[in-house]
């Protein structure tokens, strides 16, 4: 295959990916990169519990459980944003805002 054919093939492959991108694809990618970056300051969080407000000291188990719930909720909302984005539904923008709030962006 000559260089012109390879360049044309690469262009078609890349342009096809861009054509299938939804209205929130770039924002979702930014969020995922920020959350997964080493030593990231962003990550799934949850609201403070009543127990924490009552000056109770958290246990390692309660911390792990809270992190697990926050991670699961983050994944659920992120998956909703991705599904709406894949369907070209502009409502994904509202859900992306929720995801950003969940990770502190």
CA-wise closest residue to 79 among 44, 28, 37: 28
Q: Is residue 39 part of a domain?
A: yes
Q: Is residue 8 part of a domain?
A: no
Mean pLDDT over 36-53 rounds to: 79
Residue 66 pLDDT grade (very low, low, confident, very high; cuts 50, 70, 90): confident
- Structural domains of the chain, count: 1
Q: Which residue segment(s) compose the domain that 99 sits in? A: 21-103
d(CA 78, CA 102) in angstroms, rounded, equals 10
Lowest mean pLDDT among 15-24, 38-47, 82-91: 15-24
pLDDT tens string 77-90: 999 999 999 999 99
Phi, psi of 84 (to 5 degrees): -65, -40
Q: How far is CA 74 from the centre of its chain?
A: 7
pLDDT value of residue 51: 66
């Amino acid at each position: 295959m000559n260089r012109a054919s390879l360049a044309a093939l690469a262009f078609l492959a890349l342009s096809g990916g861009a054509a299938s991108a939804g209205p929130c694809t770039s924002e979702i990618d930014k969020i995922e990169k920020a959350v997964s970056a080493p030593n990231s300051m962003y990550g799934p969080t949850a609201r403070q519990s009543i127990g924490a407000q009552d000056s109770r000291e958290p246990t390692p188990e309660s911390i792990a459980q809270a992190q697990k719930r926050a991670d699961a909720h983050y994944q659920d909302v992120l998956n909703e944003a991705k599904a709406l984005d894949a369907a070209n539904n502009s409502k994904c923008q509202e859900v992306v805002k929720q995801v950003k709030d969940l990770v502190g962006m």
